[in-house]
Every structure is written in structure tokens, then in C-alpha cells.
Structure 1
Amino acid sequence: MMILRSSSTSPFVRKVIIAAKLLGLFDQISLQEAKLIDPTDSLSQQNPLGKIPALILDGGEVVFDSSVIVDTLDQMAGGGKLIPADPARRRQVLTLQALCDGMLDASVLLVAEQRFRLEAQRSAKWVAHQTAKVDRAFGALEAMVPQLQGEPDVGQIALACALSYRDLRFPDQDWRANYPQLGLWLVAFEKAVPAFAETAFKQ
């Protein structure tokens, strides 16, 4: 049984779990919650970066980060399922994933700025820098909303996780008002991919 070091509010973990469900591999994975700021948690030995998700394979090998884990799972399922085999299409899908993951990285940093720094210590310049990344990503994604045809690819899964994380952590920011096509796309994705609702964030 593989072990996935996880958190119920991590969008990167959610991406991996959705992928595992779509690939028919989820029943081979045991979820193990990680205590990210606890130095005694074994996560820091499994992944020197102390980050989730980290997938421990049956033989003990540890795979991280989420993009590498999804690629590993896709290969286990035969390949070419969530990550296309065609080189041009593969580049498009992986670039979309990278854009959405980068948007998430900036969002997580904004959450950390509020959570771990006193208000007087927060950097307005840093917040503006990360917010600009998110805004540019939203604009680019609105202009290139992917088509839902058949099973989703990893880029689409990453996009759904990124948009829903914004809802979770920034509920007062109505991104749908400025990016209506993305809003419609997320509704369609949730209807088409039951695993998305099954993996809803839990606080």
C-alpha cells in the first residue's frame, strides 16, 4: 500500500487524490496527515523540503512534488491518460499545470503572510508582488479556458484545484465577477468530474 503524506486543505494534495481516483489507483493509497510545522513529524525525513504531498511507494521510495507524483501515477496506470503522450499536447497540458501551480504557490504565500506574521510585520510590497502573480494568472487563464472533452488532463485538474483554493482562502474576493468564463468552466468541471466534489476541502 502506497502512503500519501497529506493535508485536507492542500490544493496540491487534492490534485494528486483526484488524479489517483481518475486513474483507478486511489484504493492503493493510504492517506497519512502531515503536521507541517512539527519538527518531529517524519515528513522532514521523507521529503527534505518538509512539504506535501509526498508519495511513499511500496518499496519505500519517496516521490514529490505533486506534478511528479501525478506523472508517476499516470505511468503506473499505463501512461498517456492524464498527461498526453503527444509532445505538443503534452507541453500544453504541463504548461497549464505549471501556471495553475504557480498561482497556487503565490496564493499559499499570501495565506502564510497573514497567518504567520503580525500585521505590523507584513510587507505590503511582498503582498502586492504575489497578488500581481495571481492576477496575471487569472487573466491568462480566462483567455485560454480549456475545453472539457472526455477525461480531464492534469492541467485541468490543477486549474480546478487552484480556483477552489481561492474560494477557500479568499472568500471575500469574487474572482467570478472578473473572470466569468472560468466560473462557468468550474461549474462544468464539477459536474463532469465526481472526484472533484468527493475531494472537497475540509477545514
Structure 2
Amino acid sequence: MKLIGSLTSPYVRKVRIVFLEKKVDIDLQLENVWAADTQMPSFNPLGKVPCLILEDGDAIYDSRVIAEYADALSPVSKLIPSDNRERATVKTWETLADGIMDAGILARLERTLRPAEQQSQDWVDRQMGKINNALRVLSEQLGGNAWCHGNQMTLADVAVGCAVGYLLLRFPQVQWQTQYPNLDRLYQKLLQRPSFMETEPPKA
């Protein structure tokens, strides 16, 4: 299998971590979706990463779909519970974490792609408000627990780790580590795992 993505995308990092935790080997093919000569639309018509190319050539895209597919490939390190209610809870954590990444990327694109005179501060503020609200809820739901859900790491923890890691990379001004020390404790624990170490995004 081949995973098409970038080293700085938090969505790509999420599925790479899942594959590493599952001990399923994949080849990573780097692609810049913003380059004029990008081939991404030939793999995913939406032009987004990550995109997983299966052995038979079929493509699977969207990080949530890929993560769920990957979790079913091996019984090692089950990340999504089989119980319907627990599964929904873990997937809701993932949705909230993905929402932080969605809002962060929208705010970043407003600043990096749009000419200064066309940028909307209201739009950026709206996205940052989503991030702040989501961080507050994540912290409240985590409380003093060791993991987001249950007594072991799940996809919820992977998604949250990727979301806050993305904030550290692109929005260091968001002081979530001091405001929500329980989220930081979780993140520091995740950083000790080889899957998180190996997928640490480049700072440049």
C-alpha cells in the first residue's frame, strides 16, 4: 500500500501513526497539493491528502476513512472499539480534534494565500474561536483521566495528539499547554511513543 501525503499535514500524521501502531507497513509518497504540477487530483478528485492507494490500485481518501480501514487490518493495538456506543464516543473525539485542525488550516490559509488587503480578521477570529472552544471541551472531557476514552490509547488520543501538535507547529501563540495542563500531560505521554516520534513534523 502507498500513502500519499505531506510531512506537515496533521491528517497525514494521524493515519501514519495508526499504521505504525498497527504495525502495518506502507510506503509514504510525498506530494505538495499546492504545487502547480501536483498530481493529487489524479488520486483524489478533491485534491487533498492523505490518500491511500491499495494493492489493487483503488484509492481511499479522508483521514477518518483511512484510519478506520487501517485499524481493521490487524488485531494489534485496536484503536477503535467494536462496541457501537464506545465506537461513537471515540469517533466524536476524533471529529472534535479534526475540527481543530480544520479551523487551524482555514485560518492559516487566510494568512498565507490571500493578499493582505483581502484578508478577513473576522474570519480568522471565527476559526480561532472554534479552536479555543474545542480545546476547552477536550480538556473538560479528559479531566484527570490517563486516556481520552477507556484505559488504553485509542484513535481519540491519536487525533487529539495530532491536533495539539499542529497547533504547536503553526500556532505557537495559542497557549494551550499552560491553559490546559491535562492536555499537555497527554501530549507529552504520546510523544514518548515511537509512532509519534517518527511522525514529528519538520519545523521549517
Q: In 1, distance between residues paired with 2:99 and 2:197?
A: 23
Per-residue CA shift, 1:39-82, capped at 9, x if unaligned? Answer: 53221011010000000000011001001001111111149811
2:37 aligned with 1:43 = no
Aligned 1:140-159 pairs, distance under 5 A? 140-145=137-142, 147-148=146-147, 151-159=152-160
Q: Match of 2:162?
A: 161
* 2:111–2:119 contact (8 Å) kept in structure 1: yes
Q: Match of 2:92?
A: 95
Q: Output the amino acid matched with 1:187.
A: Q
Q: Match of 1:34?
A: 31
* 1:79–1:85 contact (8 Å) kept in structure 2: no
Q: Output the amino acid matched with 1:162.
A: A
Question: What is the DSSP-based 3-state SS (H/G/I as helix, E as strand, rest coil) of the residue aligned with 1:144?
Answer: helix
2:11 aligned with 1:12 = yes
TM-score (norm 2): 0.92
Identity of aligned residues (%): 35
Query: Of 106, 118, 123, which aligns to 1:109?
Result: 106
2:14 aligned with 1:24 = no
Per-residue CA shift, 1:147-166, capped at 9, x if unaligned? Answer: 33765211110000000100
After superposition, the Cα gap between the structure-2 partners of 1:80 and 1:200, relative to the gap in structure 1 and judged at 3 Å, is closer
Q: In 2, distance between residues paired with 1:129 and 1:41?
A: 30
Q: In 1, distance between residues paired with 2:2 and 2:151?
A: 29
2:81 aligned with 1:84 = yes
* 2:21–2:77 contact (8 Å) kept in structure 1: no
Q: In 1, distance between residues paired with 2:122 and 2:69?
A: 38
Query: Of 119, 128, 136, which aligns to 2:116?
Result: 119
Q: Match of 1:200?
A: 200
2:133 aligned with 1:136 = yes
Q: In 2, distance between residues paired with 1:198 and 1:63?
A: 23
How big is the alpha-carbon RMSD for the aligned residues of Structure 1 and Structure 2?
Answer: 1.7
Q: CA deviation at 1:169?
A: 0.3
Q: Output the amino acid matched with 1:184.
A: R
* 1:93–1:153 contact (8 Å) kept in structure 2: yes
Q: In 1, distance between residues paired with 2:84 and 2:182?
A: 27
Q: In 1, distance between residues paired with 2:97 and 2:124?
A: 19
Q: Output the amino acid matched with 2:94.
A: Q
Per-residue CA shift, 1:3-32, capped at 9, x if unaligned? Answer: 11110101000001110011010x2x1111
Q: Structure 1: which 5+ runs fail to align?
A: none
Q: Output the amino acid matched with 1:77.
A: S
Q: Structure 2: which 5+ runs fail to align?
A: none
